[in-house]
Amino acid sequence: MADFVQFLGTAGGRFVVARQQRSSAGTWLQLCGQRIILDPGPGTLLRCWQVQPPRDPRQLDAVICSHQHIDHCSDANVMVEAMTNGGYERRGLLFAPQEALSGDSPLCRYVQEFPEEVVALADGLQHEVGSVRFTAVRHQHTTETYGLIFVSQDVRLGFVTDTSYFPELPGRYRDCHLLVVNVVLDERNHPATARHLSLSHAEQIIREAQPGQAILTHFGTRVIERNPERVAAGMSERLGIPVTAATDGMKLRTGVL
Ligand SMILES: [Zn+2]
């Protein structure tokens, strides 16, 4: 079975999500025969069945939430329920920051009883889903948040999820064959206090991390206004690295990277 990544949704930020200007479903990964949903936001369950061919959430092996914000985990509960046959079959893994597994979090306590294992993400720690290994990278956001680097069949796939920019960030994602960057803001609405990346931050990360290929996703209103495809084309030209703007449903074979 070929490895692939499918962007079920590419929305970022509350306004794009509220209007469903883009879908806020998560990213489906199929690596080494393992099926993983990353950051299942609002509409993920629905979207799984709408894409062609459908992605059956009952076949999932892991649900991963980078942090507890609604647009990253509102559908995690239903995805875990599907993965565990409504809680009747103890199987699959749930990964999330400790902060999202305790206290006032959208991840229901009773649902956390269903998977075979619930694992708290930790900086630099290597986690496993079958033969897929991934490392969590601590980010700086308004709540405990991690980026992820998956290794499958010697291919390194980095996911720079929500974060503000910090100088060590690009270095943590070096040597990725594919680097996915969540870019919510452009420069016009990017105050110094913003806890999300802007387009120029994304460009700087790609320049320093030097991936084989980069994908922009998780777009806020202003980035969509700027036309993500055009923005990505400009970056590709300046950086000499192929940069693509993700679209809802876009699927990428990773074995050929
Ligand atoms: Zn967030």
pLDDT by residue for the chain (257 residues), tens only, comes to 789 999 999 999 889 999 999 999 999 999 999 999 999 999 999 999 999 999 999 999 999 999 999 999 999 999 999 999 999 999 999 999 999 999 888 999 999 999 999 999 999 999 999 999 999 999 999 999 999 999 998 899 999 999 999 999 999 999 999 999 999 988 766 666 678 999 999 999 999 999 999 999 999 999 999 999 999 999 999 999 999 999 999 999 997 66
pLDDT on residue 103: 82
Distance 70 CA to ligand 1 centre (A): 8
Distance 218 CA to ligand 1 centre (A): 10
Distance 237 CA to ligand 1 centre (A): 29
> What class is the 4-253 domain?
alpha beta
Q: Residue 56 contacts by C-beta under 8 Å, 6 or more apart in sequence?
A: 48
- Write down the domain spans for the chain: 4-253
Distance 99 CA to ligand 1 centre (A): 13
Distance 69 CA to ligand 1 centre (A): 5
Q: Which two tokens stand for residue 38?
A: 């990353």
pLDDT on residue 35: 98
Distance 142 CA to ligand 1 centre (A): 7
Distance 173 CA to ligand 1 centre (A): 19
Host H or E run for residue 236 = helix 228-239
Distance 253 CA to ligand 1 centre (A): 27
Distance 156 CA to ligand 1 centre (A): 24
Distance 88 CA to ligand 1 centre (A): 31
Distance 71 CA to ligand 1 centre (A): 7
DSSP track, 18-32: HHTSS----EEEEET
Give all strands of the β-sheet with 132-138 in edge-to-edge order. 126-129, 132-138, 146-152, 155-160, 178-182, 213-217, 243-245
Distance 162 CA to ligand 1 centre (A): 5
Distance 1 CA to ligand 1 centre (A): 32
Distance 72 CA to ligand 1 centre (A): 7
* CA distance linking residue 143 with residue 108, whole number of Å: 18
* CA distance linking residue 206 with residue 195, whole number of Å: 18
